[in-house]
Amino acid sequence: MILLNIFLINIIVGILFQLLIEVKSQITNVKPSLRNAHTATFINDKLYILGGVSTDFPNGIPNPPFLYLDVSNSFDTNNLEWHDLTNINNIPPSKYAAAIKGGANNSTLIIYGGQNSTNLAIDLVDTFDTQNNIWNTPNIPGIPPSGKVSIIPIVDYNGLMYLFGGYSPELSIYTNEMFVLDTINLSWKNISSINAPSARVQYGAVFLPNNIILYMGGYNQNVGPLTLNEVYLFDTINDIWTTKITYGSIPSPRYSFSSVLGLDGQSIIIYGGSGHNNGFINQEDSVYVLNINNFNWYIPKISGQMPSSRTFHKSVLIGNYMVITFGEGYTPETESDILLLDISNNEEYVWTKSFNIKNTTPFSPLPSTGPNPNPSSSPAAVIVGAIIGSVIGIAITIGSFFLYKWRKHVKKQDDVLPTSGDEEDQKIIQIPSEKDSSRAISSDHSQEILLISGNTKSSVQQNVDPNSSKNEAISEVIVQK
């Protein structure tokens, strides 16, 4: 009986604690700064965003650097509730890193490589256990990839993370090697590069239901943006590469676009990216579909308000939506950090602002985290239930009162102090471009390539008005001279 009491007290304390965390994460709701070259990973109803490059801050580190969006309920992209995770983030900021969902319980955020804020390569795997909110940097046996930067990772059904190509700042090379990280056993494996496509970064990659990874496009120093008139299939069962020629309305060569598998499992949808001369892809030219039965490309019919095109963004498939996160090519005053393309109807996709949970196919079942809600009809349980109920009721009442006060307080502050960064951005964007006014927002962003070879960094490129530091460049590509 005493044991039972202790057990019940533990449950009550546990619930109160959870409630506290709930209220706290509400309060830490933030308006994130712009960012690109970040990671976006969907794990158990949460969309985690980590790192990237921010042009809002001199050190280039976005604020907050680690956050998530709760996707367990319907939401509107004009009113996103971000949750700041910076206070439990103890790994250094990274950009151009690779991240997937993996681990033994399939709910660990696995991050490999990228660069730190001084552009040195990060040669580590970091893990974030999303059930216990714990970071780890495990020691991993085997040889890690020579490519560290701008890899687009894929994870298979067995928790194997495929890391193809990438750029090595130490060696100043682009690679076309394929490495595999077993995210469950935590070991490295170097596998065959025979018949692999040429070295590249910032390509498109999609895991197909038949255990084949489809790779396409990207960038390397010899060619620039790589063609989409062929795609490359990596068979993860037999470790064999093959090349397929594509047909139809082939998209122009591009990199830093995003790609997801269509809901029919028969098509690949790509969005955005950069093309020749580091130009943004035009908005009318930003969405293409590849039929993977006949390798035919086509431009899908899309209704809804077409957003400006983005590059160096990340997309994930959630329910019926291709969810596009951050990137460059938009202003936060006019467009949300999150774009939603409803792809449920193959005949007509829809750009939408509302994520409707009812329209989504059910998510994979959640592993239970909190105290086990064992239903029991014993009188003791009923009484305890009632106590817990009223405690929660009181706590919620008090909680919402403080939340209300706090919101009111914040609102007042907002009225007094407009955020200066946002205002400045607005002004920059409204400067009309002399060179090409038809490109609207895109043309206002002069492009710049950061040439990084070894530790030296020089900035070169066309269209940059030296007097206009405000028209500061955004597009950052890792290039070897």
Ligand X SMILES: *[C@@H]1O[C@H](CO)[C@@H](O)[C@H](O)[C@H]1NC(C)=O
Binding residues vs ligand X (CB under 6 A): 106, 143, 146, 157-159, 177, 182, 184-185, 190, 192-193, 364
Instruction: Please name which of 213, 208, 209, 221 lies closest in space to residue 196, comparing C-alpha atoms.
Output: 213
Instruction: Please name which of 122, 128, 67 lies closest in space to residue 92, comparing C-alpha atoms.
Output: 122
Helices (H) and strands (E) in the chain, counts: 4, 35
Least distance in angstroms from the C-beta of 157 to ligand X: 4
Least distance in angstroms from the C-beta of 350 to ligand X: 24
Least distance in angstroms from the C-beta of 22 to ligand X: 24
Q: Which is nearer to ligand X, 157 or 284 (CB)?
A: 157
Examine residue 64 and say whether the peptide bond preceding it is cis (omega within 30 degrees of 0). Answer: yes
Residue 204 burial (C-beta neighbours within 10 Å; 0-12, 13-18, 19+):
buried
Least distance in angstroms from the C-beta of 192 to ligand X: 5
Q: Which is nearer to ligand X, 205 or 477 (CB)?
A: 205
Least distance in angstroms from the C-beta of 193 to ligand X: 4
Q: Which is nearer to ligand X, 178 or 231 (CB)?
A: 178
Helix (H, G, I), strand (E, B) or coil at 26: helix
Q: Computed from CA positions of residues 197, 200, 204, 210, in that sequence, does the dihedral angle turn out positive or negative? A: positive
Interatomic CA distance for residues 118 and 53, integer angstroms: 12
Q: What is the DSSP string of 214-262?
A: EEE--EETTTEEPPSSEEEEEETTTTEEEEEE-EESPPPS-BS-EEEE-
- Secondary structure of the chain: what % helix, strand, coil (to 5)? 20, 30, 50
DSSP state of 300: P
Rg of the chain (C-alpha set): 24
Q: Which is nearer to ligand X, 44 or 202 (CB)?
A: 44
Least distance in angstroms from the C-beta of 175 to ligand X: 9
Least distance in angstroms from the C-beta of 168 to ligand X: 10
H-run or E-run covering 5: helix 2-27
Adjacent-strand bridge partners of 263: none
Least distance in angstroms from the C-beta of 85 to ligand X: 21
Q: Which is nearer to ligand X, 22 or 170 (CB)?
A: 170
Least distance in angstroms from the C-beta of 182 to ligand X: 5
The answer to whether 320 and 360 are in contact (CB under 8 A) is yes
Least distance in angstroms from the C-beta of 84 to ligand X: 25
The answer to whether 468 and 443 are in contact (CB under 8 A) is no
The answer to whether 65 and 58 are in contact (CB under 8 A) is no
Tokens of 147: 């490519």
Q: Which is nearer to ligand X, 141 or 418 (CB)?
A: 141
Least distance in angstroms from the C-beta of 108 to ligand X: 10
Q: Which is nearer to ligand X, 178 or 324 (CB)?
A: 178
Q: Which is nearer to ligand X, 180 or 290 (CB)?
A: 180
Least distance in angstroms from the C-beta of 145 to ligand X: 7
Tokens of 25: 């994460």
Interatomic CA distance for residues 399 and 303, integer angstroms: 42
Q: Which is nearer to ligand X, 150 or 278 (CB)?
A: 150
Adjacent-strand bridge partners of 233: 214, 242
Instruction: Give 228's Cβ-side CA count (13 Å radius).
Output: 30
Alpha helices in 308-453 (DSSP H): 379-416, 420-430, 440-444
Least distance in angstroms from the C-beta of 189 to ligand X: 9
Adjacent-strand bridge partners of 248: 297
Q: Which is nearer to ligand X, 41 or 278 (CB)?
A: 41
Q: Which is nearer to ligand X, 6 or 366 (CB)?
A: 366
Q: Computed from CA positions of residues 381, 384, 386, 392, in that sequence, does the dihedral angle turn out positive or negative? A: negative
The answer to whether 157 and 106 are in contact (CB under 8 A) is no
The answer to whether 94 and 73 are in contact (CB under 8 A) is no
Q: Which residue type, as a one-letter code, is found at position 290?
A: L
